């Protein structure tokens, strides 16, 4: 299924020899036309263009000696990324979660459309490692002093460079399927020329539109949030939920210390059964506090429980809300582009 979704074939050695990979995807109709023109054995299908960086993180167009690479990049940007609904996807701490987002984007966008939403994906293993290390080692950063001494500037600069690249690649909107990256969302997207979708805003808006009713008459709508300590300390989920009028319920200090942090430690040790049991305890502690639902704001935690687990059915994966918001944005972008085109045609006819 992954080969169908991503539509690319590339040898494993290429991934191992290049520190960063960017994938550009266009719609199915373009792909079918191009396939008839190229030898599939000798060429990568043009619906998937792989752009590599060098060890310094520079893209091919910045190297004077790579004229052929420059031409390829220019051609790619001119022919593949000219759609009004092109989505830029900035990879985060987990490649698996990024690809899961892409799979959902492709499949869900094709449910009501002939083709999937065009996108360009930027994934950098250096950034992956830094974010994953920060999130999974949050137990060592629990104290305020430790967090203040941790230098986040390299992560912010890396995210900012990815944002600029996606802008220049023709993306008309940028999404970040990574929880911890949203800790610096305002800083990274300040002055951005195109809109960006905030995952916490997407899930908060979805909950608002669901018109939930309190579990007890007269009580406020309570939404639980379960995440790693570093994500909870960042506070963006609490802020966005409160802006929509929800009362936010977080795990207390004892729950964090005795279930959440040990669960992350168990994941690091590959003790999935232990992590799963600890997660169940943390969820039950939140649910007994009369929350309507729990936002499970951790990719590691979302993957722990089986799909049919009763506890998981009481949780929300913010990634799903981000996918649906992305599809809605893409559909609206096409409508706006068609409206502008129709207006221009009418004006041209009136002037004739």
What pLDDT is recorded for position 23?
60
Q: How far apart are CA 255 and CA 259, in angstroms?
A: 5
Please give the residue that has the higher pLDDT: either 236 or 114: 236
324 versus 148: which is more confidently predicted? 324
Using an 8 Å Cβ cutoff, are 72 and 38 in contact? no
Mean pLDDT value of segment 306-325: 94
Contact 232, 303 (CB under 8 A): no
CA 219 to chain centre: 34
Tell me which H or E stretch contains 79. Answer: helix 67-79
Q: Does position 41 have pLDDT exceeding 80, yes or no?
A: no
User: Residue 158's beta-bridge partner residues?
Assistant: none
Nearest in space to 131 (alpha carbons), one of 302, 319, 298: 298
207-243 as b/e, with b when 16 or more CB fall inside 10 Å? beeeeeeeeeeeeebbbbbbbbbbbbebebbbebbee
CB 76 within 8 A of CB 61: no
If one compares 334 and 34, the residue with the highest pLDDT of the two is 334
pLDDT for the residue numbered 92: 84
Q: Is the pLDDT reported for residue 3 higher than 80?
A: no
| pTM of the predicted model as reported, rounded to 2 decimal places | 0.77
Instruction: Compare 36 and 116 and report the one with higher pLDDT.
Output: 116
Domain with CATH 3.40.50.1860 in the chain: 81-197+318-351, 199-316
Q: Are 131 and 93 in contact (CB under 8 A)?
A: yes
Question: Which is higher by pLDDT, 268 or 8?
Answer: 268
> Residue 138 has what pLDDT?
59
Which run of H or E residues covers position 51? strand 48-52
pLDDT score of 311 = 93
CA distance 108 to 123: 22
- Using CB atoms within 10 Å of the CB of residue 281, give its burial: 0 to 12 exposed, 13 to 18 middle, 19+ buried: middle
232-262 pLDDT, tens per residue?
999 999 999 999 999 999 999 999 999 999 9
* Average pLDDT taken over every residue of the chain: 78
Q: H-helix or E-strand containing 328?
A: helix 318-351
DSSP 85-128: T-EEEE--S-HHHHHHHHHHHHHHHTSSSSSPPPEEEEE-HHHH
Residues ≥6 apart with Cβ < 8 Å to 12? none
Q: Which of 33, 115, 166, 163 is nearest to 334 (CA)?
A: 115
Residues 143-197: pLDDT tens digits? 444 444 567 888 999 999 999 999 999 999 999 999 999 999 999 999 999 999 9
Nearest to 111 by CA among 263, 346, 323: 323
Q: Is the pLDDT of residue 207 over 90?
A: yes
C-alpha distances out from residue 174 to 117, 135, 286, Å = 13, 22, 33
Supply 87's token pair. 């989505």
Position 268 scores a pLDDT of 86
Per the CB < 8 A criterion, the answer to whether 135 and 228 are in contact is: yes
Topology given in CATH for the domain delimited by 81-197+318-351: Rossmann fold (3.40.50)
- By C-alpha distance, which of 17, 20, 19, 22 is closest to 76? 22
CATH for 199-316, options being 1.10.150.120, 3.40.50.1860, 3.40.50.150, 3.40.50.720: 3.40.50.1860
Per residue in 44-95, pLDDT tens? 333 333 343 434 444 444 333 333 334 334 434 444 568 899 999 999 888 8
pLDDT of residue 131: 85
Check: CB of residue 200 under 8 Å from CB of residue 269: no
How far apart CA 67 and CA 73 sit, in angstroms, is: 10
Q: What percent of the residues of the chain are helix, what percent strand, and what percent coil, each to the nearest 5?
A: 55, 10, 35
Half-sphere exposure of 197 (CA within 13 A, CB side): 30
Which residue matches tokens 């207390």?
252
């Amino acid at each position: 299924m992954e080969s169908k979704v991503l539509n690319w074939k590339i040898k494993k050695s290429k991934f191992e020899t290049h520190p960063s990979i960017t994938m550009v995807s266009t719609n199915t109709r373009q792909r079918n036309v191009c396939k008839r023109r190229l030898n599939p054995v000798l060429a990568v299908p043009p619906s998937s263009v792989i752009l590599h960086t060098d060890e310094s993180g520079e893209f091919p167009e910045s190297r004077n000696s790579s004229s052929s690479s420059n031409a390829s990049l220019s051609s790619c940007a001119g022919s593949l990324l000219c759609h009004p609904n092109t989505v830029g996807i900035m990879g985060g701490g987990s490649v698996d979660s990024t690809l899961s987002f892409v799979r959902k984007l492709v499949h869900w966008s094709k449910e009501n459309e002939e083709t999937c939403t065009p996108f360009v994906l930027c994934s950098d293993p250096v950034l992956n490692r830094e974010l994953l290390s920060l999130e999974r080692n949050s137990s060592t950063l629990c104290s305020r002093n430790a967090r203040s001494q941790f230098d986040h500037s390299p992560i912010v600069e890396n995210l900012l460079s990815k944002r600029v690249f996606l802008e220049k690649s023709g993306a008309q909107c940028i999404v970040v399927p990574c929880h911890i990256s949203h800790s610096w969302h305002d800083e990274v997207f300040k002055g951005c020329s195109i809109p960006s979708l905030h995952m916490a805003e997407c899930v908060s808006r979805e909950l608002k539109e669901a018109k939930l009713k309190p579990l007890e008459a007269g009580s406020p709508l309570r939404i639980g949030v379960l995440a790693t300590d570093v994500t909870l300390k960042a506070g963006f989920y609490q802020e966005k939920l409160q802006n929509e009028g929800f009362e936010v319920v977080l795990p207390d200090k004892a729950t964090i210390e005795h279930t959440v942090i040990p669960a992350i430690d168990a994941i690091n040790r590959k003790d999935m059964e232990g992590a799963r049991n600890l997660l169940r305890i943390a969820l039950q502690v939140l649910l007994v506090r009369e929350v309507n639902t729990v936002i499970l704001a951790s990719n590691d935690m979302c993957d722990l429980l089986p799909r049919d687990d009763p506890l998981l059915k009481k949780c929300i994966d913010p990634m799903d809300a981000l996918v649906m918001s992305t599809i809605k944005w893409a559909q609206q972008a096409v409508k706006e582009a068609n409206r502008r085109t129709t207006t221009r045609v009418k004006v041209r006819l009136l002037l004739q």
